Amino acid sequence: MIARIWYGWTTRDNAEKYEKLLREEVLLEIAKRSIPGYKGAEIFIRDAENDETEFVTLLRFENIDAVRTFAGKRPEIPVIPPECKKLLKRHSEKSRHYRIVPIN
């Protein structure tokens, strides 16, 4: 299993709008694509410094081929819809991929 992790920051004023956009549109659209090997997503949110709210998205995939189906030939490049870019103050330039190692 692969975790695809990406970071983005909004202003506190945009945080609620951004969370709603992720929850009600972006992640639902990803799920509707029925990508073979896509296993779901989680969002982590925290108030950060400088009046920012940090968002961490974690998408789970069975393997790196499923990640490539989602992201393209260069899976480290983030997939950021234009409506999200409008609300982001800044973001990481690359997505990172980690093997998920079950315990037990």
For the chain, domains (ranges, CATH) are: 2-99 (3.30.70.100)
pTM for the full model? Answer: 0.91
Average pLDDT of span 8-29: 97
Q: Phi-psi region for residue 37, left (φ > 0), alpha (ψ -120 to 50) or beta?
A: left
Q: How much is the pLDDT for 104?
A: 83
**pLDDT tens digits for 20-79?**
999 999 999 999 999 999 999 999 999 998 899 999 999 999 999 999 999 999 999 999
Average pLDDT of span 80-86: 95
Say whether pLDDT at 83 is over 90. yes
Residue 58 CA to residue 27 CA, distance in Å, equals 11
Q: How much is the pLDDT for 47?
A: 96
Of 52, 53, 34, the C-alpha closest to 44 is 53
User: Rounded to the nearest 5 degrees, what angle is found at the Cα of 14, between the Cα atoms of 12 and 18?
Assistant: 120
